[in-house]
Amino acid sequence: MPINNKFQLKTSKNGEEYAKILDKLHDEVSSIPHFNDKEVMLEDSGISFFHKETQKEITWTIAVCLQKFQEINQEKVSHVLKNNELKILAEATEARLEGKDMVLISKDIFGFNNLVISDSEEE
């Protein structure tokens, strides 16, 4: 969903804390070595999964929650994230919300690894 208005995103302690919680949760879920047909229960969060695909879906859901939070609240949170994959997605969302013309994310077998942001006013 393109945003045509250009404006400055805000930051807040509540937004930063929420982003840190999602960052920690994403790390917790994605860092578990997992093999199919073995139940995994994460005690801190109460999340459990049985298949590798479900583990990936949970981490993607966490990323989408972060992006939706940014969109709804118009917040910049990438500066508090430690997880590279979440950080790149947050930076891309921030660029889009700030009205940048093009955001390009590249991904390889190891995950998201590059973000290119272009704005026609800068060229």
According to the model, what pLDDT value does residue 2 have? 46
Residue 61 domain flag: yes
Higher pLDDT, 121 or 57: 57
Torsion angle in degrees (nearest 10) through CA of 59, 78, 69, 8: -160
Q: Tell me the C-alpha distance between 42 and 28, whole Å.
A: 8
Higher pLDDT, 25 or 3: 25
Residue 30 domain flag: yes
In which residue are the tokens 């190891």 written?
110
What does pLDDT average to over the chain?
83
**What average pLDDT score do residues 29-38 get?**
76
- In contact, 112 and 86? CB cutoff 8 Å: no
Most confident of 1-10, 42-51, 90-99: 90-99
Tally of domains in the chain: 1
Residue 105 domain flag: no
Torsion angle in degrees (nearest 10) through CA of 32, 112, 21, 68: -130
**Which amino acid belongs to residue 6?**
K
pTM: 0.78
Containing structural domain, residue 57: 13-98
According to the model, what pLDDT value does residue 1 have? 45
**What average pLDDT score do residues 103-116 get?**
65
- pLDDT at position 6 over 70: no
Residue 72 domain flag: yes
Residue 2 domain flag: no
End-to-end CA distance of the chain: 23
